[in-house]
């Protein structure tokens, strides 16, 4: 079912405010599209309000996700409107141009393809490591692959790992925790080597580690929130500390990190240039972020000076009308349609 919101004949000037949508728990829940989604997008389109999507989800290229989302929601979404958790990590491709990067998460080779698309040249994945060294994780559910991995994907497994980047939720947590720990505690990044206890205590971590998403949980069609990439990180932190006696060092991307909001602002500038005020100076853009996770969507928006609307259709499940205690939103609303109506009425 396709919804055509462009039947308005009257030309409405582009609004001077913008809306940033979270996806999971706001527009969709797993396989289901929330019923308010079409109405919310329709209201913005008929008022000519620019909007983008900023999700901590990922695991595929922006163009593929935009295509998937367009089909699911029934509204055309351009890749230019879509920021995934790992989108700002494209900036790392230059820094690690000559390095072998262990890319973790997602199904099959999808995250490898994302990394290649961003310009990373030397990539290894835990699945590829597992294919070359089956005993790396003998109890893994994915041990028996029906189709062997192509030889071209296995060439970097013997090269030292020079950086680790978690791009998406792990599908095989046991294997991926093991391979990431192997890389972190290896000698000079060689996966089948290990530092001595003394080396581990003096130089515990030589391989830099990045995560694209810090969410502990996310919301799908299951009644209560599900583990997300942040829970995987929590496990890794605990294992690393037990093994080395040191805290795991890492860099975070995704909401609520400022890097991600700076990236989002640049995307907004592309789709909706800043208006000039009567004094000839650029007007400050009002941005409204709609989200379901106080620790990601609301903390991030508040911290960046945007307005924030917290819906009750996802991770945040209050007893009544109360706001979140640690990260209070500008307003708490029932769902995404309520959020959009609240924004429009405020801007009129």
**Is the Cα dihedral 85, 90, 95, 101 positive or negative?**
positive
**Is the Cα dihedral 338, 342, 344, 348 positive or negative?**
positive
- Near ligand G3P by CB under 6 A, which window of 51-59, 62-70, 89-97, 182-190? 51-59
Work out whether 22 is an interface residue with ligand G3P (CB under 6 A).
yes
Backbone phi, psi, residue 133, to 5°: -120, 85
Question: Which long-range contacts (C-beta less than 8 Å, at least 24 apart) are formed by 282-288?
Answer: 283/16, 285/16, 285/17, 285/18, 286/16, 286/17, 286/18, 286/347, 287/17, 287/18, 287/19, 287/20, 288/17, 288/18, 288/19, 288/20, 288/330, 288/339, 288/343
Residues 56/254, Cβ–Cβ less than 8 Å: yes
Work out whether 213 is an interface residue with ligand G3P (CB under 6 A).
yes
Residues 292/22, Cβ–Cβ less than 8 Å: yes
215 binds, among Mg ion, ligand G3P, none (CB under 5 to 8 A by kind): ligand G3P
| Tokens 């597992």, residue located | 130
Tell me the C-alpha distance between 312 and 318, whole Å: 7
Among 19, 49, 57, 287, the residue binding ligand G3P under the rule CB under 6 A is: 57
Among 99, 100, 229, 244, the residue binding ligand G3P under the rule CB under 6 A is: 229
Contacts of ligand G3P in 143-182 (CB under 6 A): 169
Q: Which two tokens stand for residue 62?
A: 């922006």
- Near ligand G3P by CB under 6 A, which window of 19-27, 125-133, 153-161, 197-205? 19-27
CB-nearer residue toward Mg ion: 200 or 289? 289
- Near ligand G3P by CB under 6 A, which window of 4-12, 36-44, 55-63, 104-112? 55-63
Residues 5/74, Cβ–Cβ less than 8 Å: no
The number of residues that bind ligand G3P (CB under 6 A) is 14
Question: Shortest gap between Cβ of 70 and Mg ion (angstroms)?
Answer: 19
Among 17, 18, 19, 25, the residue binding ligand G3P under the rule CB under 6 A is: 25
Tell me the C-alpha distance between 68 and 56, whole Å: 16
Question: Shortest gap between Cβ of 56 and ligand G3P (angstroms)?
Answer: 4
Tell me the C-alpha distance between 20 and 339, whole Å: 11
Among 210, 211, 218, 288, the residue binding ligand G3P under the rule CB under 6 A is: 218
Among 25, 126, 204, 254, the residue binding Mg ion under the rule CB under 5 A is: 25
226-227 and 217-218 strand pairing: antiparallel
Q: Which two tokens stand for residue 142?
A: 């994915």
- Near ligand G3P by CB under 6 A, which window of 17-25, 95-103, 303-311, 321-329? 17-25
Question: Shortest gap between Cβ of 165 and Mg ion (angstroms)?
Answer: 22
Residues 310/287, Cβ–Cβ less than 8 Å: no
228 binds, among Mg ion, ligand G3P, none (CB under 5 to 8 A by kind): ligand G3P
Contacts of ligand G3P in 276-305 (CB under 6 A): 293
Among 127, 169, 292, 335, the residue binding Mg ion under the rule CB under 5 A is: 292
The binding site for ligand G3P (CB under 6 A) comprises 22-25, 55-57, 169, 213, 215, 218, 228-229, 293
The binding site for Mg ion (CB under 5 A) comprises 22, 24-25, 292-293
């Amino acid at each position: 079912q396709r919804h055509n919101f462009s039947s308005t004949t009257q030309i409405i000037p582009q609004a001077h405010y913008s809306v940033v949508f979270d996806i999971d728990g706001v527009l969709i829940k797993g396989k289901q599209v929330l019923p308010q989604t079409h109405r919310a997008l329709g209201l913005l389109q008929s008022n000519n309000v620019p909007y983008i999507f900023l999700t901590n989800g990922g695991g595929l290229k922006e163009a593929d996700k935009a295509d998937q989302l367009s089909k699911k929601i029934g509204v055309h979404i351009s890749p230019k409107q879509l920021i995934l958790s790992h989108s700002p990590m494209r900036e790392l491709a230059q820094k690690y141009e000559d390095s072998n990067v262990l890319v973790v998460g997602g199904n099959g080779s999808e995250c490898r393809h994302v990394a290649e698309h961003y310009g990373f040249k030397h990539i290894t994945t835990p699945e590829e490591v597992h294919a070359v060294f089956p005993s790396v994780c003998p109890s893994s559910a994915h041990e028996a692959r029906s189709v062997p991995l192509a030889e071209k994907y296995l060439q970097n497994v013997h090269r030292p790992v020079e950086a680790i980047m978690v791009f998406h939720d792990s599908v095989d947590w046991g294997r991926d925790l093991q391979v990431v720990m192997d890389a972190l505690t290896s000698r000079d990044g060689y996966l089948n080597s290990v530092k001595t206890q003394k080396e581990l205590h003096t130089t515990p971590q030589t391989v830099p580690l990045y995560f694209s998403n810090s969410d502990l949980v996310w919301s799908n069609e299951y009644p209560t929130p599900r583990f997300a990439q942040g829970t995987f990180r929590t496990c890794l932190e605990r294992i690393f500390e037990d093994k080395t006696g040191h805290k795991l060092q890492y860099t975070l991307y995704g909401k609520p990190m400022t890097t991600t909001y700076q990236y989002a602002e640049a995307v907004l500038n592309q789709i909706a240039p800043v208006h000039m005020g009567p004094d000839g100076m650029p007007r400050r853009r009002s941005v409204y972020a709609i989200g379901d996770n106080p620790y990601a969507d609301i903390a991030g928006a508040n911290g960046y000076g945007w307005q924030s609307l917290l819906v009750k259709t996802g991770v945040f499940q209050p007893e009544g009308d109360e706001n979140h205690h640690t990260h209070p939103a500008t307003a708490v609303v029932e769902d995404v349609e309520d959020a959009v109506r609240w924004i429009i009425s405020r801007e009129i």
